[in-house]
Amino acid sequence: MRRLIAYPLAALGLVTASLMIGSPASAHGYVSSPPSRQALCAAGRVGDCGPIQYEPQSVEGPKGQRNCHGGLAQFAVLNDNGRNWPATSVGTAVTFSWVLTARHSTSSWEYLIGGRRIAFFSDGGRQPSATVSHQVSLAGFSGRQTLLEIWNIGDTPMAFYNCIDLQIGGGGPAPSPTAAPSPTARPTASPTARPSTGPSSRPTVRPSGPAASPSSRPTGTVPGTEWAAGTTYRTGAEVTYQGLRYRCRQSHTSIVTWEPSYYTLALWLPV
């Protein structure tokens, strides 16, 4: 009963936020890898983004712009370079991958750095396939750069805008002292480029048996620990939730809605 009440309340803010910005149906795609600014907002790696975090696929504005937010006031945060967007370290040959939620007939895909077009893919009005990725050479660029990627729609005057912050050349945060003469000028840029916050970077636990050293296991495996979101639970781990004990039946990294309930009987068995 308590759970039933909790969801609508928790969802309320979210739904309200999305209603305010209107027509969600115009949502259709963004660059997920290397992550665009809207992808960083949706992933929760950058906070306080406003409504864009719920619909990173919606940065749609008239063609021909040279900004990160498609001219949409509600997404202006994307165009704010003062937000210290984490930059992804890349080499000079990069594959850009898209998430699409609708396949518009496509005129072209443009990649620009500093107003200079570095790659252009013409689709001639074709409908893209379910996933899209492009190989782009960044030869001639180094250090921290913001790349603008534009998806020009074929049968409307609209385009989708993405800004992607990159640290080009070398894998490290400070690959070449010459390329970054004043590292202190952007303290947050590089160190946060590969943060250890996402689920992906949680220590990958030893693949073998559940009896591995208890001391190094995630907190969730300590019997009686209260269930929590964002925890990697291994098969056999025990938690308490709302006063009852449960045992994990299938390893997973928990999220809100995957707490013990009727819907998660395959994940959590009452003990």
Q: According to CB under 8 A, which residues from 204 to 263 bind other proteins?
A: 204-205, 207, 229, 232, 244, 250-253, 255-258, 261-263
Using rule CB under 8 A, residue 104 touches other proteins: yes
Q: Which stretch binds other proteins (CB under 8 A): 63-71, 99-107, 108-116, 220-228?
A: 99-107
Binding of other proteins by 33 (CB under 8 A): yes
Q: Is 41 helix (H, G, I), strand (E, B) or coil?
A: helix
Token pair recorded at residue 164: 């992607």
What residue type is assigned to position 263 of the chain? Y
Bond before 34 cis per omega within 30 degrees: yes
Of residues 61-80, which lie at the interface with other proteins (CB under 8 A)?
A: none
**Smallest distance from other proteins to CB 174, Å:** 21
> Which residues, 128 to 187, sit near other proteins by CB under 8 A?
129-131, 133, 156
Selected binder of other proteins within 75, 85, 98, 141 (CB under 8 A): 98
User: In terms of CB distance, is 67 or 88 closer to other proteins?
Assistant: 88
Nearest to 114 by CA among 133, 141, 135, 139: 141
Say how far residue 117 (Cα) sits from the centre of its chain. Answer: 25
Taking a C-beta distance cutoff of 8 angstroms, is the pair 102, 29 a contact?
A: yes
Give me the least distance between CB of 88 and other proteins, in Å please.
Answer: 7
How far apart CA 33 and CA 21 sit, in angstroms, is: 26
DSSP state of 78: G
CB of 32 to other proteins, least distance (A): 5
Please give the DSSP secondary-structure letter assigned to residue 264. Answer: G
- Rg, the chain, Cα only: 22
Which is closer to other proteins, CB of 185 or CB of 266?
266
What whole-number distance in Å separates Cα of residue 19 and Cα of residue 68?
22
By C-beta, is 40 or 113 nearer to other proteins?
40
Among 55, 110, 149, 165, binds other proteins (CB under 8 A): 55
